[in-house]
Structure 1
Amino acid sequence: MSIGFLRQALNALQKRSPLAGRSPSHSRTSHRVNQWFKWLSPGLSIKRWLLISVGGVLLSILGLAIWVKLTPIFWMLELIRGFLGAIANILPNYISGPLVILGGLLLLLWGQTRTVGSITQVLRPGAEEELIDVLLAHRRLYRGPKIVVVGGGTGLSTLLRGLKTYSANITAIVTVADDGGSSGRLRQEFGVLPPGDIRNCLAALADEEKLLTELFQYRFRAGDGLTGHSFGNLFLTAMSDITGDLERAVAASSRVLAVRGQVLPATLSDVRLWAELADGRIIEGESSIPKAGGKIVKIGCLPANPPALPAAIKAIKEADYIIIGPGSLYTSLIPNLLVSEIADAIAASVAPRIYVCNVMTQPGETQDYTVADHIRAIDNACGGRRLFDAVLVHKKSPSAQSLIRYAQQNSHPVFLDREAVAQLGRRIVLANVLYEDETGFVRHNPQKLAKVLLKWYSGAHHGK
Structure 2
Amino acid sequence: MTLYSSKKVVAIGGGHGLGRMLSALKDFGGNATGIVATTDNGGSTGRIRNCQGGIAWGDTRNCINQLITEPSISSMMFEYRFKGSGELDGHNLGNLMLTALDNLSVRPLDATNLIRNMLKVDVNIIPMSEHPSDLRALAPNGKWVTGETSVDEMPDKLVRLDLEPEVPATREGVVAIEQADAIILGPGSFLTSIMPPLLLPEIGRAIANNRKAHLIFVENLSPEYGPAGKMSLLEKLEWCERACRGRRVDVVLGNEPHPELDMWNCVTTPLASPNRDWRHDRTKLQHAIESLLLD
TM over 0.5: yes
User: In the alignment, is the contact (CA less than 8 A) between 2:127 and 2:170 conserved in 1?
Assistant: yes
Deviation, 1:302, is 1.0
Name which of 235, 240, 246 aligns with 2:108: 246
Q: Which residue of 1 aligns with 2:199?
A: 338
Q: Evaluate the alpha carbon distance shift between residue 141 and residue 390 of structure 1 in structure 2; reply closer, same or farther with a 3 A threshold.
A: closer
Q: How many Å apart are 1:216 and its aligned residue?
A: 3.6
Q: What's 1:322 paired with?
A: 183
Give distance in 1, aligned partners of 2:152 and 2:241: 20
Give the C-alpha shift of residue 149 in structure 1: 0.7
1:284 aligns with 2:146: yes
Give the CA deviation at 1:373.
Answer: 2.2
Q: Tell me which amino acid in the other structure corresponds to 1:432.
A: P
Structure 1 counterpart of 2:262, which letter?
A: A
Structure 1 stretches of 5 or more lacking a match?
1-42, 44-139, 396-415, 460-464
Give TM-score, length-normalised by structure 2.
0.91
Work out which of the residue numbers 209, 213, 235 in structure 1 matches 2:97.
235
Partner of 2:81: 219
1:14-56 superposed Cα distances (whole Å, 9 cap, x missing partner): xxxxxxxxxxxxxxxxxxxxxxxxxxxxx9xxxxxxxxxxxxx
Shift of 1:422: 2.3
- Taking structure 1 as the reference length, the TM-score comes to 0.59
SS in 2 for 1:392: strand
Listed as ranges, the matches of 1:13-412 within 5 Å are: 143-208=5-70, 215-222=77-84, 224-242=86-104, 244-304=106-166, 306-349=167-210, 350-383=212-245, 385-395=246-256
Structure 2 residue aligned with 1:418, among 259, 281, 287?
259
Counterpart amino acid of residue 180 in structure 1:
G
**Shift of residue 270, structure 1, vs aligned partner:** 1.3
The equivalent position to 2:273 in structure 1, one of 419, 432, 435, is 435
- The one-letter amino acid of 1:446's match is R
Amino acid at match of 1:200: N
1:454–1:392 CA distance, 2 compared to 1 (3 A): same
Q: Which has the higher contact order (CA 8 A, sep 6+)?
A: 2
Distance 2:86 2:7 in 1: 47
Residue 285 (structure 1) shift: 0.5
Deviations 1:332-384 (A, max 9, x none): 0110001000110011112122111112221113224332122122223445x
Between structures 1 and 2, the one with greater helix share:
1
Query: Aligned residues, how many?
Result: 294
Q: 1:224-276, CA deviations, whole angstroms, 9 ceiling, x for partnerless residues?
A: 42111012111211222335231110011111111112100111121111111
> What percentage of residue pairs aligned between the two structures are identical?
33
| Rg comparison, structure with higher value | 1
User: Over aligned residue pairs, what C-alpha RMSD do you find?
Assistant: 2.3
